[in-house]
Structures are given as structure tokens and as C-alpha cells.
Amino acid sequence: MKVYGYNAVSEALKAEKVSKIYVSSEISEKIKKILEKAKKKRIPIYKVEDFREKIAAEVSPVSFVDLDHLIQRALNQNNFILILDNVTDQRNLGACLRSAEFFGAAGVLIPKRRVASIEEGAIKTSAGAVFHIPIAREENLASAIKKMKKMGFFVLALDLDGKSDLSEVDVSPPIALVIGGEDKGISLPVKSQCDEVVKIKGFGKVDSLNLAVVAGIAMYEVVKKMVMRKHI
């Protein structure tokens, strides 16, 4: 959702709930101070011509955690993290969050750009899961993945160009599952950081699945293997 005006944007910024800022071409000194704070937090800023409101912000009702919190949670739980890249549809985002919470993920990592902001559509589709699962945002997903790998994570990407099937991969936690968006899929810098790229083999005439379905299948497979390992 959007909030308008200096006071509303300023308060939302203090509460760490701003995902994007829109400003007119005419910027007052007060608004300049807000933009300086936003830049320090690496919040995207967009200029809009003939913008009567002067300043507005995309605000998420969801509180975000930092990446270190997500990593530590996954390590402590010997668990997995879901990473979403280029997911721009609210319903797909919400469905992925719902599945991640259902399968007990340690958390979800999304980029600050190239992703749908978490708004009413995502919240509704997630069936409230957004309020129960930790979500982190990073400016650079490739760098975030590189950091996770140093901490011992195995990073598995799901993509149509995967050489092997998801069911054939033997993985052990901590794991990061990377799912790409509706149109662009996984960006090349992110994919290059992944340890392995796999696919889900189909048997029908349609050659691909909705990304939220892919995410659900991938998480189920990982959780199933994690449970089996515990009983060996």
C-alpha cells in the first residue's frame, strides 16, 4: 500500500516499513533529509513528473529481519531458506510465503528490487503466513548467497535449464532454495552463485509450472529428505 506526504513517509521510514519512495521533481529541504535517510538504508527512490503529492512511499505492513538473523536461524535449526528472485506477482509471492511457512522454512530472502512489495494481495494469498515467517531483504542477492555459502549453505536453484531432476539431488541442510520470477527467471549473477541448478521433470505437453508450484514441490522434496536423514 502507499502512504503520502512528508509526515507519513517519515514515520514509515522510522518504522522500517518503506520498500520504495516516489518524489516529484521539486524537492524541499525537508524531503531532501528523508531521501538522505532512505539512501543510507538503500531504499529505491523514483522521480515522478508532475507529482502533486511531492512524496509518497510503498509501505509494507510486514516487519523485515536482517540476513544474519535468517542465516543464524537456519544454522540453529539445521534448516533451509527460500530465496525468491524476480518474483513480481503479488499472488505468487504470497503463495510462496505460505508454502515456506507450511514447510517450516527458517525464513525467506527477497531482493529490495526486482520483487513485488508485500501488500494486500500477497498477504491475502499467504493466508497470514507473512506474519509468522521471518523475511529478509537484500540489495544484492548474489552477494547474500556468497555469504551464505561461506557459512556452509548448499545453494540449489530450480530452473528449466537444470541438468538433473530435483529428486536425484542428494542434499543436506543448511540449504538455500532459489526460485526465479514469472518472466525473467533467476538472474544470471544469482544463478552463477548457485552450487547446482536442477529442474522438475514433467510428463505432459506443458513444459513448465507456475513458480509458486515449483517452490512448493522443491520445499516438499527438501523437507522429505531432511526427515529421512534424521531417521537414518
Short-list 70, 117, 58, CA closest to 89: 117
Q: Looking at the 3D structure of the chain, how many domains does it have?
A: 2
Q: 55 and 74: one domain?
A: no
Of 59, 79, 99, which closes a domain?
59
The confidence score (pLDDT) of residue 232 equals: 56
Cα gap 149→120, rounded to integer Å: 33
Residues 72 and 96 in one domain: yes
- The answer on 178 and 84 residing in a single domain is yes
For the segment 180-202, what is each residue's pLDDT rounded down to a tens digit?
988 889 999 999 999 999 999 88
Instruction: Look up the domain containing 206 and give its range.
Output: 67-230
Q: Say yes or no: 185 and 226 in one domain.
A: yes
Indicate which CATH number applies to the domain containing 6: 3.30.1330.30
DSSP 47: E
Report residue 24 as a C-alpha cell.
Answer: 516529484
Average pLDDT across the chain, whole number: 89
Same-domain status, 21 and 83:
no
Please report which confidence band the pLDDT of residue 126 belongs to, taking 50, 70 and 90 as the band edges.
confident
**Cβ neighbours of residue 126 closer than 8 Å, sequence gap 6 or more:** 94, 95, 97, 98, 101
Q: Select from 16, 37, 59 the last residue of a domain.
A: 59
Last residue of a domain, one of 29, 59, 89: 59
Q: What pLDDT shows up at residue 115?
A: 63
Q: What is the CATH number of the domain that holds 175?
A: 3.40.1280.10
Compute the distance between CA of residue 79 and CA of residue 96 in angstroms, rounded to an integer: 17
- Residues 197, 93, single domain; the answer is yes
Taking Cα atoms as reference points, which of 96, 150, 139, 100 lies closest to residue 118?
96
Q: Are residues 73 and 152 in the same domain?
A: yes
Q: How confident is the model at residue 225, as a pLDDT?
A: 87
- Model confidence over 203-223: pLDDT tens digits? 898 888 999 999 999 999 999
Q: What is the pLDDT of residue 61?
A: 74
| CA dist., res. 94 & res. 146, Å (int) | 26
Residues 87 and 173 both lie in one domain? yes
Q: Is the pLDDT of residue 128 over 70?
A: yes
Contacts of 121 (CB under 8 A, 6+ apart): 90, 91, 94
Domain match, 208 and 135 both: yes
**pLDDT (tens digit per residue) in 18-60:** 888 999 988 889 999 999 999 998 899 999 987 888 899 888 7
Q: Are residues 165 and 88 in the same domain?
A: yes
Judgement on whether residues 47 and 154 belong to the same structural domain of the protein? no
Let me know whether 131 and 78 are in one domain: yes
